[in-house]
Structure 1
């Protein structure tokens, strides 16, 4: 499944691309705000209890963990026109186990979760929206687990370059390595042996 990296002009463009009708888009915009996030900054940090979620207007984010030794493990990448959240922590009002970091200067549409819940109670459209977002997240999680458990590093790298063409040019190679579950030296070796 190919990931598309859109460049959006406005929140309305993103909401239209996500299939949100004009009426619901207006209601969502009324409880939201646009927010810039600089490259390298975290939108959500581990240990934080999130009260908002977002839709990426422009830029690129990643989900990542840090272990007790300071090693980083990248869980996934979030491009424009994608929902951005630590959903379980937000839903159950607990601390997030992972970080959400901007990988380049980005802009998000930040949405207050409790205000969104009121919209959801009033309009069944938001139930469908939530189900679609959760299904997409579940599919991504299931696919990623299968790749990490069953495929070798070269096969995972090949899938990465197919799904995220040119992403290597936008982010540090150590982040690519942490996504693939390998050391940066192993990634360098795989890239060197990659057929032209």
Structure 2
């Protein structure tokens, strides 16, 4: 909880009483590798802070092929954002790639406190702006950069993640095949 508190304080200057109210909304849960935090077609209402572990957000097409959209690593929030904000069914799956420890809160409970605690709404705005900018950057990279460049960005943005998850998941995230990723990694090791 200490790391979570420091993370929150880095985003919004909460008073001690505001921080206590906010922290009281979250409880710790443990999920095992391959467990789902959210599943396509279900309704989500939970927002979580990743204390440890790695999760992936992915979607599956009609033929069963999976495409990784993003990874959630420690000191990041994870949620099926479109579902919790629109109250519609999830469009994506969120699955643990390792054992995970999450601090989980009910999103509606959090939003119900916006009027009483305006800084909670400020926190939500800061997080939404951050998530949007990350999403936009990633979309631009997918269509404008070569796979090798995307791989280099992945390594900088997610140091050590390669050692924790399968190459299949990294390739899917980069929009390439595992074979292409192997070639890129071989070329990089020769440089």
Give the match for residue 165 of structure 1. 159
User: 1:74-123: CA deviations, max 9, x gaps?
Assistant: 11111112111112211111011101111111111110122112221211
SS of 2:114's partner is helix
Give the match for residue 4 of structure 2. 14
**Where does the alignment leave 5 or more consecutive residues of structure 1 unmatched?**
1-10
Identify which of 125, 148, 164 aligns with 2:142: 148
Identify which of 90, 109, 114 aligns with 1:115: 109
Equivalent residues of 1:12, 1:25 under 8 A apart: no
- Separation in structure 1 between the aligned mates of residue 155 and residue 32 of structure 2, nearest angstrom: 25
Give the match for residue 128 of structure 2. 134
Residue 57 (1) aligns with residue 51 (2): yes
Equivalent residues of 2:111, 2:121 under 8 A apart: no
- Separation in structure 1 between the aligned mates of residue 19 and residue 29 of structure 2, nearest angstrom: 17
Q: Give the TM-score, by structure 1 length.
A: 0.90
- Separation in structure 2 between the aligned mates of residue 17 and residue 90 of structure 1, nearest angstrom: 22
Equivalent residues of 2:55, 2:95 under 8 A apart: yes
Q: Aligned Cα RMSD in Å?
A: 1.3
User: 1:9-39: CA deviations, max 9, x gaps?
Assistant: xx23212222163322311232222111111
SS of 2:159's partner is coil
Q: CA deviation at 1:153?
A: 0.8
Q: Give the TM-score, by structure 2 length.
A: 0.92
SS of 1:111's partner is strand
Equivalent residues of 1:65, 1:73 under 8 A apart: yes
Equivalent residues of 2:58, 2:66 under 8 A apart: yes
Identify which of 62, 67, 74 aligns with 1:68: 62
- Separation in structure 2 between the aligned mates of residue 34 and residue 166 of structure 1, nearest angstrom: 25
Matched residues, number = 186
- Separation in structure 2 between the aligned mates of residue 86 and residue 63 of structure 1, nearest angstrom: 8
Q: CA deviation at 1:48?
A: 1.1
Give the match for residue 41 of structure 1. 35
SS of 1:135's partner is helix
